[in-house]
Amino acid sequence: MKNLIVIFAIALLASCQQEKIGYVDNVKLMDEYQQKIDVESKFKVKADALAKTRDSISQAFQLEAQAFQSKAQSMSQAKAQEEYAAMQQKGQMIGQQLQQQDQQLQIEGQTEMDSLVSKVKEEIKAYGQTNGYSYILGGGDGGSVLYGKDANDLTDEIVKLLNDKYKK
């Protein structure tokens, strides 16, 4: 009988223990994470440089096309068509090269952002394990937390942790 009471008391204590739950506003976290800000800045610089290159190449090609139009009037029709076909082919090649550069930059940026998101998830997991959380939920746009007490909001703590680690 005594053993039954002890077992019942232990079961009661175990059932009364609550899980420690927190949440993170994903949008705020990523907006305030310095490494993400730096990655975006780096790729903006690269995108701007690519846009300038694209503009100068396009401008040079347009000048070449205008020069051809003037020159084509003095050519025979067959020669003009041959030159026009060569210009078209050159324009298509330039367009393809620029498109490939754009795609490469997008892939590079997406790869770096995916790596960053994985790093953030790992840090949140480590934070949760270190601080005894059973669950850390994601909130913000598209998140799973519709409401949470401010006391359970870990966003600022995790942003600080991530930014401190990034500074090192």
Structure confidence by residue, pLDDT tens digits, 60-113: 989 988 888 888 888 888 888 888 898 899 989 999 999 999 999 999 999 999
Report residue 70 as tokens. 């003037």
For the chain, the three-class secondary structure string (H helix, E strand, C coil) is CHHHHHHHHHHHHHHHCCCCEEEEEHHHHHHHCHHHHHHHHHHHHHHHHHHHHHHHHHHHHHHHHHHHHHHHCCCCHHHHHHHHHHHHHHHHHHHHHHHHHHHHHHHHHHHHHHHHHHHHHHHHHHHHHHCCCCEEEEECCCCCCCCCCHHHECHHHHHHHHHHHHHC
Cβ proximity of 120 and 29 under 8 Å? yes
- 136 φ, ψ (degrees, to nearest 5): -125, 115
Q: What is the pLDDT of residue 139?
A: 86
Q: Of 100-109, 137-146, 158-167, which range is least confident?
A: 137-146
Give CA–CA dist 133/30, Å, rounded. 21
Q: For residues 139 and 145, give the distance between their C-alpha atoms in angstroms, rounded to a whole number.
A: 5
Cβ count near 91 (within 10 Å): 15
pLDDT bucket at 29, cuts 50 / 70 / 90: very high
pLDDT of residue 148: 82
114, exposed or middle or buried, with CB in 10 Å at 0-12, 13-18, 19+?
Answer: exposed
Structural domains of the chain sorted by starting position, each given as residue range(s) with its CATH number in brackets:
18-167 (3.30.910.20)
Residues forming beta bridges with residue 22, ordered by sequence position = 136
